[in-house]
Structure 1
């Protein structure tokens, strides 16, 4: 059974994003911490962090491997960049979790996963971070990419977060989370999204040609308005960053997911007017503020 609500402009206008008052400062627009990157893929963190700012977050902090932190600081001068000890494989050492939890507690949203490559270290760090952000309070947590593989070891803590976690898998990652084949996920994506949402008590954004958004308890939305040009390196990092930025500025988790998926897809549609293939994930970012403004008009 597919009782998904289509994500349309009218739907978004019926659930407007929180907007700071004219006198609000950057603290009033929310603080986001983006954790990720690696020696091999530092740019994913740049995309995700910049996307969070483009979505309206007021302050950005990025945490990554010490050896690449200075370069990211120069590439994103708007951000505070925290350099952490790194593993021999070029990832963040899991023992850094106490430092991350301390910073995360002062944020309204936290994203972990973009560009992380050291599988064992990522799983350990993600599990420890979820445990450190246990309970219904604290920031909205967005989990993406390799960090998704650390969920099973933290299921109890996820459930206690009361739906304040968003995950953004594609079909292959969802297969790993579900313990089934990719073909089974692709045969019935809404059912796969619902199962994982209920098991972990998270908002699921199951990415694909049609993206399915599921909440614990069975509410479902779908968005099929994107285009094939979005299937490009870094596109998922920008989506995760936009969702985190929306959550940082006060959108509830389901609202942040729904709006984020639409903004990402519509940004791709605007770039596709110049040609359906060949635009870059970094080019999506500049489209987001204008699309948000049009929907708020």
Structure 2
């Protein structure tokens, strides 16, 4: 075949590649928007409320109030209106079901063994919710940090950052298309040699004669795609450090000098045990926040 004979094939490939790049770009963008929206909804509507309720149960020392909080938690998240069952995390749903089972068993048989199982299920659920909350926050903050950093950057840097995103999406689609063509080339070559060996069938090949060029272009596109992902990762990896929670005397003196807070008088603890118990009972029955 002459080179002119491949013009229709090349034209068709260009059209298919253009369609594939556009489709992949739009599909991935829509999926990313949906993913971030669902992640934000999970944090706002479920995880923040659930972790606050679980910590409230664990930190409550007044026994009747403690049991009421467990019951309220049980009824709140098992109701049909609960956001739990629209959660993106099947792990949280399954572990809440474990808590639900242990709570029902404890209601029927309030033994120490059942109470241990109930508290263990609550502890495991709290750990999982806390882990998911941290993971989801990191996903969202990675996006927010990138946009905030870009908005604070000079105009040229903003153009570069937006252009990098567009080029990265385009190269992702090109890489996927190139891998599909490589896969089709290997299938075509394998089928040809299998048929030619078995039945001496001679057919016209479209991809296999250009396999070296296809492999070369695919490697080049893959290398550029990797390089662009590396640049993207370097931009996303920027994080503001919160610093250490162990403050130095210099930090304490600086902030005391620059910001005025209410000076509190620290009173010593009661001297004897009876006074301690009286204060604790009074706080449990009638807590006062100064």
Structure number having the greater helix percentage: 2
Q: TM-score normalized by structure 1?
A: 0.20
Q: TM-score normalized by structure 2?
A: 0.20
Structure number having the greater strand percentage: 1
